[in-house]
Structure 1
Amino acid sequence: MHGKRIEVTSADGQPFGAYLSAPASGTGPGLVICQEIFGVNAFIRDVADRYAAHGFTVLAPDLFWRLEPGVELGYDDGDRARAFDLMGRFDTDLGVQDITACVQALRAMPGSNGKVGVVGFCLGGRLAYLAAARSGPDCAVGYYGVSIDKYLGESSRITEPLMLHFAREDHLVPPETVDRIAETFAGRSHVSIHVYPGVDHAFARTGGANYHEGSAATANARTLELLQRTLAASR
């Protein structure tokens, strides 16, 4: 399954690019995939195509477009340096606004059932969490989202299902940070937090140095079950 590039209109009326991957049926719930710091690269497009094969209409927006449109990076030292520079200059609030625009665009597409979820990785995991608080999706999933703890003041705004995956050996999201997040959501049945022992940041990135097939398969199965359960019915 292969997608195509389309344009989405931002809240301030500017067009930005997004990778669209649609199911063979042409109909179904929507899903926004939020990139890592490496842009909409082969891994993110593969994730989008995988969910399209499960019946979702998927948008993976170019969230760095205000800094450098069309960023697509690999994982060598030079690209990593560029990626961290872009993340340092990235405006989180504007990024969430762009995700909101994608949620709205998916709901307006022909064949949509009105339901939209958000899934993100690393930087995108933080954005998925914030989208759950601000963008009005029907569910959200974050993989090893960084700096979520800085936004726990918005946790009360999250009323739809939220799933967060964390790696126990992740120095970017250490155990004490995960514990703070878990304590914040204690007793809230619509929020589930999963911690994977013995794995590091980016354990679900296929082909990556930290990829762990077993943990990735478990996390992906949990994510798919939530998406199918939450988004299947018409809004």
Structure 2
Amino acid sequence: MTSELDGGLPVHEWGSADADLPGILLLQEIFGVSDYIQQRGADLHALGYYVIAPEIYWRLDDTELDESSPELLQQAMGIVSRLDWDLAVKDAVAALQYLKARGKGTGVVGFCFGGGLGYNVAAVSSPDVLVSYYGSALKNLLELQVTATSLHHFGNTDVYLDVDEIVPNLGAAEVHRYDDAGHAFDNPLPMFHNADASALAWRRTEDFLARHLPTSQG
């Protein structure tokens, strides 16, 4: 289901805002709110959460992607290069504030681009928990202070991130690293996917959320 928050920000929604469930802000990869991200939204809702995923590219024109194209990554990089980061943070914070207003607890879960965006959002608007999968902008955000209870996943063969540099700057966060897994290893596209790392990371995400953002199903 898709709706709009005040100000016109479109969001995909799993569950009812009126439900007595904690809320999770799900933040997209550079590929947008793709079928994969929508599946993760459904997965999180199945765990007992009300979930929203904002269309962070909503202010841009020409953002349609062809997931079958061999130039998919280049296309997505072209889109994200046109994005105003500060406006993206503002939009994501607005979505988190919407969840906070429900008064039932909040979490942020982000993948790749969304993992970095989620870190920035958590630094300025303090959800209860943050789950970041290989946040692509983390290297530029480490001066920010995140007080939320946090979980980070990284692949040890990630060629986009210097994981050894990032991890020591994450403070008390729970961090897991996965051998033979590269960047975006949770994405099911063959160019990225590592099935073993994906499955283990998701089990750890489920456990982390159950411990730190419990639901009536927990």
The TM-score, its normalising length taken from structure 1, stands at 0.84
2:179 maps to 197
**Residues 68-77 or 208-217, more deviating:** 68-77
- State which of 132, 148, 154 in structure 2 corresponds to 1:160: 148
- Measured on the aligned residues, the alpha-carbon RMSD in Å equals 2.1
SS in 2 for 1:202: coil
List runs of 5+ in structure 2 lacking aligned partners.
Answer: none
CA contact (8 A) 1:144 1:201 kept: yes
Counterparts of 1:157-196 in structure 2, within 5 Å, are 157-173=145-161, 177-185=162-170, 188-189=171-172, 191-196=173-178
Q: What code does the residue aligned with 1:15 have?
A: G
2:3 maps to 6
Counterparts of 1:1-235 in structure 2, within 5 Å, are 4-9=1-6, 14-22=7-15, 26-68=19-61, 71=64, 73-109=66-102, 113=104, 115-154=105-144, 157-173=145-161, 177-185=162-170, 188-189=171-172, 191-232=173-214
Percent identity over the alignment is 32
Deviations 1:80-125 (A, max 9, x none): 332111111112221111111111112334xx52x11111111111
Measured in 1, the distance between the counterparts of 2:98 and 2:35 equals: 23
SS in 2 for 1:77: coil
Give 1:195 deviation, angstroms.
1.1
Give 1:181 deviation, angstroms.
1.7
SS in 1 for 2:48: coil
List runs of 5+ in structure 1 lacking aligned partners.
Answer: none
CA contact (8 A) 2:128 2:148 kept: yes
CA contact (8 A) 1:38 1:71 kept: no
Measured in 2, the distance between the counterparts of 1:27 and 1:54 equals: 13
Distance 1:215 1:47, change over 3 A: same
Give 1:36 deviation, angstroms.
0.7
SS in 1 for 2:22: strand
The TM-score, its normalising length taken from structure 2, stands at 0.90
CA contact (8 A) 2:65 2:76 kept: no
Measured in 2, the distance between the counterparts of 1:142 and 1:210 equals: 17
Measured in 1, the distance between the counterparts of 2:125 and 2:89 equals: 7
Deviations 1:179-213 (A, max 9, x none): 2222223xx43x11211111111111124332122
CA contact (8 A) 2:155 2:185 kept: yes
CA contact (8 A) 2:119 2:138 kept: yes
Distance 1:49 1:218, change over 3 A: same
SS in 2 for 1:82: helix
Measured in 2, the distance between the counterparts of 1:194 and 1:92 equals: 27
Distance 1:206 1:79, change over 3 A: closer
Q: What code does the residue aligned with 2:128 have?
A: D
Distance 1:71 1:103, change over 3 A: farther
Distance 1:218 1:92, change over 3 A: same
